[in-house]
Amino acid sequence: MDKNTVLEALKKAREAKKRKFEQKFDLIMNFRDLDLKKPDHQVDFYTSLPKDTGRSAKICAFVTPDLVEKAKADCDGVVSEDDFQKYAADKKLTRKLAKQYDYFIAQATIMAKVATSFGRVLGPKGKMPNPKAGAVFPPNAPLKPIVARLRKTIRISAKLAPIVQCMVGKESMSDDDVADNLMALYEQVVHHLPNELANVRSAYVKLTMGSAVKLK
């Protein structure tokens, strides 16, 4: 994708009515000729953007009681193994927990218990601790680098519908930085498609409350 095309689209997107809050720029990609029943046609990967968007994901850790204090120092939330049964018996409580955090991490040694206690709620939301994202760790692993990386991580997923939509910037960022993020993400998504560009029906950029501006 040509950067000048992206910059022109961003300029046009900024013409939208100003709001009382800072709007986000989203990249929207629509796909074609994908059979999402086939795993190799599904898009599902983790990545990070080259330019900081100011977004910081909230992280919650599932740990054994002896690691609770250590986890509290690095994570936004901690659930001790001792409390698993409480959540397993109360789906409302677990759903509330799921809404509070973007990612969940867990000790590898208790992943089976995490799956039993939280899987029915976190699984459908795509929030179970995922080894692909480095969210499952050995008991002696330092949590700080894991959490720092996940705070800047985004998940791109098109498993149920042939479309992805993801934040690539915000109004206060320069068009150049937003364009770098958009192009980097676009190229990564294309790389994960079975027939690459041939599977891209269209692409747009839009502000939160603005109209979509066509890129492709």
User: Would you call 125 helix, strand, or coil by DSSP?
Assistant: coil
For 96-121, write each residue's pLDDT tens digit. 999 999 999 999 999 999 999 999 99
User: Would you call 31 helix, strand, or coil by DSSP?
Assistant: strand
What's the pLDDT at 1?
87
The domain made up of 3-54+154-214 has a fold known as Ribulose 1,5 Bisphosphate Carboxylase/Oxygenase (3.30.190)
On whether the CB atoms of residues 207 and 18 are closer than 8 A, the answer is: no
Question: Could you tell me which CATH number the domain at 59-151 has?
Answer: 3.40.50.790
Q: H helices within 56-174, ranges in order? A: 68-74, 84-88, 91-100, 111-122, 143-151
Q: What dihedral do alpha carbons 39, 1, 197, 152 form, nearest 10°? A: 0
CA distance 49 to 170: 13
Residue among 96, 152, 101, 156 nearest 129 (CA): 101
Residues of the chain scoring pLDDT < 50: none
User: Would you call 45 helix, strand, or coil by DSSP?
Assistant: strand
E strands, the chain, are: 24-31, 43-47, 59-63, 77-80, 103-107, 136-137, 154-158, 163-170, 200-207, 213-214
CA distance 71 to 34: 41
Q: What is the 3-state secondary structure (H, E, C) of 86-111?
A: HHHCCHHHHHHHHHHCCEEEEEHHHH
On whether the CB atoms of residues 200 and 214 are closer than 8 A, the answer is: no
User: Would you call 192 helix, strand, or coil by DSSP?
Assistant: coil
What's the pLDDT at 141?
93
What's the pLDDT at 36?
96
Residue among 166, 156, 161 nearest 28 (CA): 166
For 7-36, write each residue's pLDDT tens digit. 999 999 999 888 999 999 999 999 999 999
The residues spanned by each domain of the chain are 3-54+154-214, 59-151
